[in-house]
Structure 1
Amino acid sequence: MSRMPFSSLLVEVLACTACKAHLPLDPRPILQLDPEASILIAGQAPGRRAHNSRIPFNDASGNRLREWLGITYETFYDPKQIAILPMGFCFPGSGQSGDLPPRPECAPIWRTALLRHLRHLKVTLVLGQYAQTYYFNEANLSVTNRVKAWRTHWPHIIPLPHPSPRNNLWLRRNPWFEADVLPALQVHLSNILAQRLLQKPPPKVI
């Protein structure tokens, strides 16, 4: 079977209603993708604010994530540099202790086809439990232990805790994350983005 053109695939993804019956709001897939992206953020699912604004990570989690990565708002929302592909594309609803898990329909239907178009990826940042379960085989590892082992898959796949404010206590209990992981991560991403700029062809002189 031939690969569907990226533009056609994206149109189909944005029109997806596979989990409509299970959603509290109308389906509204939220993702950011371009075949030129060199950094992929594999998140969990958009929150209510992202759903309302149609902008991924348009909330306190996004503010913290951009700070962790050491990149600007403009760079973060440049799809030719940063791809944002959550495990579930639509807001799954809220539970007693935060948002519900990503709907399980998205990844089997769309993820492989979309990832095939990201031919220039240098690194994938895997945020939180649900994304890490998809990407890693260490089923018995907690998020804490997986993030502690961040050097295992470096430099191509990097597990991170979710940047949600609900993880404030985790961050206080694990100061090594901000002291050791984030400085290395920021240097790594800075080098990737700088390399991409060097490879970008100069503008044509008319």
Structure 2
Amino acid sequence: EGGVITSAATMTMTSSPLRTNPITRGAWVATVILNRPPPPPPDTVPPIEADDRDIESSGLTLRQRLTQHQKSPQCAACHSQLDPLGFALENYDAVGRWRPKYASGLEIDSSGELLGKLKFQNIVEFKNALLQHPELFTQAFAEHMLSYALGRELNLADDPAIDTITQSTLKNHGQFTTLIREIVQSKPFRYHVDETAAQENR
């Protein structure tokens, strides 16, 4: 399965040195693809073993080990959202190579639910679930691009522009040129102030 989500660069960047990191991968999907970044983890959360072998020596898969985080009330809310996104990519190892099983022979479970309602069994079904809601990643991309164009973080006053950019882009089947045109024509872009230049001119 190709695409930016499963590219070797993304899989390597979101892995630990010796193993995959479903939490980091899930956070990357939530932040980059959906623009729903998770809050930082509590300081009291213990670290996960750095090597798959340390986990599998107990007879547990990485998923079974990480599921223990969901038993904690302070962790459950975020992990119930992040973990399915990360484990959907678990068939790709720490450098992005496809693997049907762990090196120990344990089966990889990449099933889950997207948005708490769209069930999937593997990466193909996960991507299909994402494609059922193009408004999610279209809006996220519009937010990323408008923020970049303005040189600042977005705020509530930008919401109408984001809605317009997203809807126009969706009507034109996700064309990138439409998204760029709508950003350039948006009120925040046309009336934005370069804070650095403004300070230099004071």
Q: TM-score, normalised by structure 1?
A: 0.28
Larger Rg: 2
- Structure with greater contact order relative to length (CA < 8 Å, sep ≥ 6): 1
Q: TM-score, normalised by structure 2?
A: 0.28
Judging by fraction of residues, say which structure has more strand.
1
